[in-house]
Chains A and B, each alone.
Chain A
Amino acid sequence: IAGITQAPTSQILAAGRRMTLRCTQDMRHNAMYWYRQDLGLGLRLIHYSNTAGTTGKGEVPDGYSVSRANTDDFPLTLASAVPSQTSVYFCASRGQHTDTQYFGPGTRLTVL
């Protein structure tokens, strides 16, 4: 593993189903983030975690939950998917003493 990986690459999901997007980093970064990208809206922060064991809400947290059991993993869960959650989801991480975030390749999610 090098950097940040996300899984799955893409997914089509029926509305009402539960889905977990996975994110793993091997850079030992303390801070991790989940963004969604929608056409014409740029990147919007869903949830973040400054360190293992802590999480916080971003700009658009409704319908999503996260956990941070360890430094490397930061899964994003949609408890009951809705069509408005159709988007491309990016995970990012940031090391200490820097403001630069590094992004994973993204997960394209379609909720029908």
Chain B
Amino acid sequence: DQQVKQNSPSLSVQEGRISILNCDYTNSMFDYFLWYKKYPAEGPTFLISISSIKDKNEDGRFTVFLNKSAKHLSLHIVPSQPGDSAVYFCAATSGGSTLGRLYFGRGTQLTVWP
């Protein structure tokens, strides 16, 4: 049962435009959300996160929005650059859990073309 869903396996955006990657979750106990970026032949790298007490977190060109009532979050990249081309994974966890297990979506391949 997929508790974190990324329904778009791929997204293609022109350089300079906005990229919007979406993620939905089903478990209302999740209270911390993360985005990871993955290049081919490398491990996932942490990009940005958001706690459920916030609805927005911004870091440079990257902004994550959280809509708890809809159980939906999105990652905005503005402006998009060719170097942003990678697979983006959404992940969620229950902060109170000692396990600290992350539940991952299946990823979205972002391609930014010149």
Contacts and interface: CB of A to CB of B under 8 A. Distances in A.
B8 interface: no
Contact of A45 (B42, B98, B101, B106): B101
Contacts of A41: 106
Interface in B45-73: 45-46, 49
A106 B40 CA distance: 11
A57 B7 CA distance: 27
Given A43-B89, A48-B99, A50-B99, A99 B43 contact: no
A99 B49 contact: yes
Contacts, number: 57
Contacts of A31: 100
A99 B93 contact: yes
A80 B29 CA distance: 37
Given A41-B106, A43-B104, A58-B101, A90 B43 contact: yes
Contacts of A94: 100
A103 B39 CA distance: 13
Contact of A106 (B9, B42, B101): B42
A99 B95 contact: yes
B98 A50 contact: yes
Nearest to A104: B43
Classify chain B's interface size: 20 to 34
A101 interface: yes
B102 interface: yes
Contact of B99 (A42, A43, A56): A56
Interface in A28-86: 31, 33, 35, 40-45, 48, 50, 56, 58
B49 A100 contact: yes
Interface of A: 4, 31, 33, 35, 40-45, 48, 50, 56, 58, 90, 92, 94, 99-106
15 contacts: A35-B104, A42-B6, A42-B104, A43-B89, A43-B102, A45-B102, A48-B99, A48-B101, A50-B99, A50-B100, A99-B49, A101-B102, A103-B45, A105-B43, A106-B43
